C-alpha cells in the first residue's frame, strides 16, 4: 500500500475549503436539493459510481432529474479526510464513507427503519478551483463492505 502524502502539502485554508465543498455536495444530495448539489460539481467533472459513470454537470443533472425527491432516503457519513496536493494544482481528498439508505413508500412517515449501513467504503475526490470555489472534478468510490 502506498502512503499518502501528508496534509502539509495542502495549505490549511485549502483543506477547509475542499472539505466544506465536499460536505455541501453530500448534504445537498442527502436532502434531495439536487440543483444546489450540482453547483459543487465541476462543469466537466466525472463521477464514477457503482452503477455507472456520469460525465459533466449536464449528465449529473439528467441523472438527478430521474430521482423522485423523498423516494430514496439516504444519509452519508464521511470521515477520515486526508488531503494530497496534485502536481496540476488540484487537490485529492481521500475519505471513508458509510451510506445508510431506505427506499421509501410515498407518504411513509419518518423516522425510516434502520438496518445498518448498506455500504462502507472510500471516496477519492479530485478537487479543482472553478469560479472561485473548490469543486469536485473527479469522484470515485471503492466499496469495501456491502450489505448482502
Long-range contacts of 71-75 (CB under 8 A, 24+ apart): 71/103, 71/104, 71/106, 72/101, 72/102, 72/103, 72/104, 73/101, 73/102, 73/103, 73/104, 73/110, 73/112, 74/29, 74/30, 74/99, 74/100, 74/101, 74/102, 75/30, 75/99, 75/100, 75/101
Q: What is the CATH number of domain 7-146?
A: 3.10.450.50
Per-residue pLDDT of the chain (148 residues), as tens digits, is 444 555 558 999 999 999 999 999 999 999 999 999 999 999 999 999 988 999 999 999 999 999 887 788 899 999 999 999 999 999 999 999 999 998 887 777 778 888 889 999 999 999 999 999 999 999 999 999 999 8
pLDDT of residue 4: 52
Domain ranges in the chain are 7-146
Amino acid at each position: 500500500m502506498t502512503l499518502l502524502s501528508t496534509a502539509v502539502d495542502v495549505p490549511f485554508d485549502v483543506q477547509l475549503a475542499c472539505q466544506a465543498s465536499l460536505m455541501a455536495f453530500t448534504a445537498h444530495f442527502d436532502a434531495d436539493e439536487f440543483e444546489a448539489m450540482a453547483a459543487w460539481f465541476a462543469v466537466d467533472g466525472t463521477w464514477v459510481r457503482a452503477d455507472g459513470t456520469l460525465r459533466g454537470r449536464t449528465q449529473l443533472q439528467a441523472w438527478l432529474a430521474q430521482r423522485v425527491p423523498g423516494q430514496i432516503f439516504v444519509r452519508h457519513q464521511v470521515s477520515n479526510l486526508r488531503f494530497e496536493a496534485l502536481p496540476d494544482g488540484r487537490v485529492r481528498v481521500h475519505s471513508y464513507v458509510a451510506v445508510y439508505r431506505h427506499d421509501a413508500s410515498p407518504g411513509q412517515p419518518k423516522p425510516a427503519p434502520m438496518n445498518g449501513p448498506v455500504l462502507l467504503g472510500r471516496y477519492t475526490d479530485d478537487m479543482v478551483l472553478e469560479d472561485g470555489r473548490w469543486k469536485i472534478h473527479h469522484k470515485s468510490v471503492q466499496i469495501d463492505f456491502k450489505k448482502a
